[in-house]
Structure 1
């Protein structure tokens, strides 16, 4: 799923957008402040976002709260069953940050299908295309 998101965000038709890929635990507040938009991905773990994504939000929330208002984001979630808790938790935090959802969330249960991977590609492309100057 990650590879499909990156492929969509880096498609040749999208120009002037630098795509930076980092795992959640490697991202700093400076990275978030320097970014113009975000694609967030997480497994649904026990009805919640991953611990790594939660740590990311814990570390960047207050340092980035005012400066990142209005920035676009997209979300993809992979799980074995109900992903509503993971989605709800991410939406609550991104709403608090004032980020704007620019595409439908991609929710994938079990092994990703070709259609699921295409939806991930479209998610990456949509977020990146919105950032073109």
Structure 2
């Protein structure tokens, strides 16, 4: 059984819906050999990351950067994870009120240092909330879980 860890900062009703869509996609009934775990950034410890076979990170864009709790996650876990999960497949999604580029750049910079492997283009949900974000999130979760189960990632 492979482990897909979803670490998401979901402070609002809409971001909680997005997280649930990610979980729903990753937990699709046809995917049988992937355990899906979801944790908030403050609940996540280095052991959780080091025991995962793949990760999806979700965050809001705050002041053109990732959420403070997401940054705290990376601050706490960076060195305990460094050199322990090189090549870890991951992707991320951003609920961006603006364009999400600062958040995307920051996450890519940190995960490059960790030597994680971005296996799917990040999902940047920009502007006013749209219900299509939920379909995109579900697709992202399904794609990651199916790829993990198939051994593609």
Q: State the TM-score bracket (shorter-chain normalisation).
A: over 0.9
Q: Give the alignment partner of residue 66 of structure 1, picking from 71, 80, 83.
A: 83
Structure 1 residue 130, shift from structure 2 partner: 2.1
CA contact (8 A) 1:69 1:99 kept: yes
| Structure with the higher strand share, 1 or 2 | 2
Q: Give the alignment partner of residue 61 of structure 2, picking from 10, 23, 44.
A: 44
Partner of 1:76: 93
Gaps of 5+ in 1: none
Distance 2:65 2:97 in 1: 12
Gaps of 5+ in 2: 1-17
Using the size of structure 2 for normalisation, the TM-score is 0.82
CA contact (8 A) 1:29 1:64 kept: yes
Q: CA RMSD in A?
A: 1.2
Is 1:104 the counterpart of 2:121? The answer is: yes
CA contact (8 A) 1:42 1:53 kept: yes
Distance 1:37 1:66 in 2: 16
Using the size of structure 1 for normalisation, the TM-score is 0.94
Distance 1:99 1:128 in 2: 17
Point out which structure has higher relative CO (alpha carbons under 8 A, 6+ apart): 1
